[in-house]
Amino acid sequence: MNVIGYKCFKNDLVNNYGIKFNVGKKYSTDGIIKFGLRGNGYHLCKNLEDTFRYFDTFHTPVNVCLVEGRGNIDEYCDEYYGYYDMYSVEQLEILRKLSRDEIINYGLNLNELRAIRFVSSFKLTEDEIKLFEKKYALNREVINAIKYYQKGDKAVYELECAKRKIYKI
Summary count for the chain: helices (H), strands (E): 6, 5
Cα angle value 152/98/48 (rounded, 5°): 60
Q: Which of 142, 98, 153 is nearest to 120 (CA)?
A: 142
Which is nearest to 110 in space by CA: 84, 129, 136, 83? 136
What is the dihedral sign for C-alpha 85, 86, 90, 92? positive
Give the pLDDT confidence score for residue 166 in this predicted structure. Answer: 52
Domain boundaries, the chain: 2-98, 110-167
How does pLDDT run along the chain (169 residues), one tens digit per residue? 799 999 999 989 998 889 999 999 999 998 787 776 677 788 999 999 999 988 889 988 999 999 999 998 887 666 545 555 788 899 999 999 999 999 999 999 999 999 999 999 999 999 999 999 999 999 999 999 999 999 999 898 876 555 555 555 4
Query: What pLDDT, on the 0 to 100 scale, is given for residue 62?
Result: 93
Identify whether the C-beta of residue 26 lies closer than 8 Å to the C-beta of residue 20.
no
CATH architecture designation of domain 2-98:
Alpha-Beta Barrel (3.20)
